[in-house]
Amino acid sequence: MATRDLHTPVMLERTIELLSPALQAEGAVLVDATLGMGGHAEAFLARFPGLVLVGLDRDTEALRLAGERLAPFGDRVHLVHAVYDTMRNALDSLGITGVQGILFDLGVSSLQLDRVDRGFSYSKDAPLDMRMDATSPLTAEIVLATYSESELRRIFYEYGEEKLAPRYASKIVQARELAPLTRSAQLVDIIVAATPAAVQRAGHPAKRVFQALRIEVNSELSVLARAIPAAVDALDLGGRMVVLAYQSLEDRIVKRVLQSRSSSTAPAGLPVELPEHRPELRLLVRGAELASEDEKSNNPRSAPVRLRAVEKVKVAA
């Protein structure tokens, strides 16, 4: 199956519309910080013939597939094996100083969800891996085998917002004393058995635990908290950034940074705002934009998306 058949980019036309004003000049640089299988990247390169793309991804398989897909665009494409909080280092290694557009499409990719052996899905049995970067040492199996009950409880609370975190952590520790937990089906069985029937009717009980483990294994939230401010810093004056987030924890981090840097720093009551107090960013959408009902119907993975977009209107001193 062709790579483009495996992946439908979320909110593609809206993303192009928002970034387009910053990408018109010959040689404009767009950083796709979460390249995945290159769906967004391919569309941008086709739409803007003078565009240079820097594609970052921690997943080596995604980079390989995207490289095949984007090969027709030749030397306009630069792919880098990197986590997006190291964007500045990646740009420096390519000798790129100015960036006109940045795109983040956060969360687990279609490739990672659809490849059963990666262990991201609670609906299919697989090794408890969950690494976005197969070269990283930490796996979900290691987390479940070595974290204390209190540590497991914490990540289920913080990263899964799971109310039954104490019960699940306790049952996991009991189960691992009897046999190693190596398969996702084992974990699902433990969680289901520990979940009251009434709670199960509200949705699959393993969903939040799997989310929490994935975030822990890949340090997703701490990486994101570093990456968004660094991305704002990397933008040239007039540059634009779009962020697609799929769960509240991600969106909260993005919202906090973008709101802070799009607000005046002038003290309350100051009669005239001085230039140094003017905000760095201008918000391009009100709040977080959602996918249309048509898109949700055609691409179910767009259902939870929250889009935020900004323009750089002042370069920090």
Give the CATH number, domain containing residue 185. Answer: 1.10.150.170
Least-confidence region, from 101-110, 171-180, 248-257: 101-110
The answer to whether residues 232 and 174 touch, using CB atoms and an 8 Å cutoff, is no
Say if residue 58 is in the same domain as residue 140. Answer: no
Q: Angle at the Cα of 242 (from 236 to 248), degrees rounded to 5?
A: 135
**Whose CA is closest to 220, among 37, 85, 129?**
85
Sign of CA dihedral 300, 304, 310, 315: negative
pLDDT: which is higher, 280 or 120: 280
The answer to whether residues 315 and 281 touch, using CB atoms and an 8 Å cutoff, is no
- CA torsion angle for 25, 313, 225, 38 (degrees, to 10)? -20
Tens digits of per-residue pLDDT, 37-78?
999 999 999 999 999 999 999 999 899 999 999 999 999 999
Please report whether residue 235 resides in a domain.
Answer: yes
Sign of CA dihedral 184, 186, 189, 193: negative
For the domain that residue 54 is a member of, what is the CATH number?
Answer: 3.40.50.150
- Say how many domains are in the chain: 2
Say if residue 276 is in the same domain as residue 209. Answer: no
Say if residue 225 is in the same domain as residue 181. Answer: no
Percent of the chain's residues with pLDDT above 90: 78
- Residues tagged in the binding site annotation: 38-40, 57, 84, 105, 112
Say if residue 153 is in the same domain as residue 286. Answer: no
Alpha-carbon 151 to chain mean position? 24
CA–CA distances in Å: residue 5 to residues 8, 33, 200: 7, 21, 33
Full domain range(s) for residue 173: 116-214
Domain final residue, candidates 181, 214, 247: 214
Looking at residue 107, its pLDDT comes to 80
Please report whether residue 252 resides in a domain.
Answer: yes
Tens digits of per-residue pLDDT, 197-215?
888 888 899 999 999 999 9
pLDDT: which is higher, 222 or 107: 222
Please report whether residue 47 resides in a domain.
Answer: yes
Here the tokens at position 234 are: 């990397």
* Residue 117: burial class (beta carbons within 10 Å; 0-12, 13-18, 19+): exposed
Say if residue 229 is in the same domain as residue 95. Answer: yes
**What's the average model confidence in pLDDT over 267-276?**
63
Domain final residue, candidates 214, 243, 259: 214
Say if residue 105 is in the same domain as residue 131. Answer: no
Domain final residue, candidates 214, 245, 274: 214
Q: pTM (2 decimals)?
A: 0.90
Say if residue 238 is in the same domain as residue 281. Answer: yes
Rounded Cα gap, residues 222 and 215, in angstroms = 9
**What's the average model confidence in pLDDT over 120-136?**
89
Say if residue 49 is in the same domain as residue 135. Answer: no
Say if residue 196 is in the same domain as residue 224. Answer: no
- Residues tagged in the binding site annotation for S-adenosyl-L-methionine: 38-40, 57, 84, 105, 112
Looking at residue 1, its pLDDT comes to 41
Looking at residue 112, its pLDDT comes to 58
CA–CA distances in Å: residue 218 to residues 37, 57, 93, 118, 205: 19, 13, 24, 13, 22
Across 229-260, b (16+ Cβ under 10 Å) vs e yields eebbebbbeebbbbbbbbbebbbebbbebbee
Does residue 118 surpass a pLDDT of 90?
A: no
**What's the average model confidence in pLDDT over 228-246?**
97
Say if residue 158 is in the same domain as residue 209. Answer: yes
Please report whether residue 317 resides in a domain.
Answer: no
Tens digits of per-residue pLDDT, 32-45?
999 999 999 999 99
- Sheet with 99-105, edge to edge strand ranges: 77-81, 52-57, 29-32, 99-105, 235-245, 306-312, 281-283
Say if residue 104 is in the same domain as residue 248. Answer: yes
Least-confidence region, from 15-24, 70-79, 86-95, 195-204: 195-204
Say if residue 80 is in the same domain as residue 225. Answer: yes
